[in-house]
Each structure stands twice: as structure tokens, then as C-alpha cells.
Amino acid sequence: MEILEYALRNAKRIEAAVVLPYTTVPTAPSVLLQKKDEGYPWHPLAWGFFGGQVEAREPPVKAVIRECLEEWGRNVNESDLLYLGTSPFADTHPDGVRMRVGLHHAYALPVSDPKDFLASIRLTEGAGFALFQREEISGLYMPTHNKFIVNKLFNKLAERK
């Protein structure tokens, strides 16, 4: 237990705001995820979210809006975002030494025309992006804490039916 306590005490602490664009047309609900590139320090080539670190004194929703503009070149209106909740996470760096712990503030973004939305994205970070349905998530290389958030979105969508 001493090693774990030391690691958590010395872990980098961060707050991140993430967005999960989703669509319910033309078929079953799908979520848009980002493929991290080889240079991503925590989970290279994993599937994850669009978003990033919340700056000092920045509300998480403003961080999501800023990150969408930075990562997609697309403006998002605060009124279009649906708050999914805040979840804790912990990661160990691939070097096996560094750790980070923090909070993910997650927001969903409904997309009514996925073809137009996808065509409008000008990706500035990551190796790519793709839409996934619920049954595809479990087979993805993706941190467990991220799968938890994706499943939370799919659960909310199922409740709306």
C-alpha cells in the first residue's frame, strides 16, 4: 500500500472537460470518438474524447467550447451541450512511473446531421475520429474510465426512448 499512497500523493492532478458528440440517426445511437496519435503521452493510439485540460478559473463548459474550436475548428453553443456529469479518473503513464489523477467533466453534443457534422470537422489533434455504436465500445482500446462515460451517455439515450 505504501507504493500506491506515494504514487497518488505525487500524481499530477488535472481537471479535463470532454465532449461526446452523438447522433441517433440514421440507425442506432452512435458516439464520435477521437483516435489518439502515437505522440499522446498517456494512451497512445487509444480511442478517447475530444476535449482537454480546464484552465485556472475556467468553467468546464467554457473549456469544452474552447477545445471544440481548437480541435475541430468549429464553434459550439453552450445551449447545445448536455451535461453528463463529473467522473474521477486515474492513469499510469506507459513508463510505469508517472501517474495522473483528476476529474472528467463530460458533456454530450447532439448531432442531427452526422454527414454534415463529420464533413465540417477540421481535426487539429489526434490520428482520426469515427462513430461507434454501443456494442462496439467494449472491443475498443480505450481507458476503462472513458468507457464508463460513454456507457453513461448510451444509458441516458436509452432512458429517453
- pLDDT tens digit sequence for 21-78: 999 876 789 999 999 999 888 889 999 999 999 999 999 999 999 999 999 888 999 9
Structural domain boundaries in the chain: 2-155
CATH topology of domain 2-155: Nucleoside Triphosphate Pyrophosphohydrolase (3.90.79)
Residues 31 and 134: their CA atoms lie apart, in Å, by: 8
Rounded to 5°, angle at Cα 47 from 118 and 71: 50
Q: In a 3-state reduction of DSSP, which class is residue 153?
A: helix
Long-range pairs of 37-40 with CB within 8 A, sequence gap ≥ 24: 37/125, 37/126, 37/127, 38/127, 40/126
Statement: residue 11 has pLDDT above 80: no
Statement: residue 134 has pLDDT above 90: yes
Question: CB neighbours of 145 closer than 8 A, spacing ≥ 6?
Answer: 87, 88, 89, 90, 104
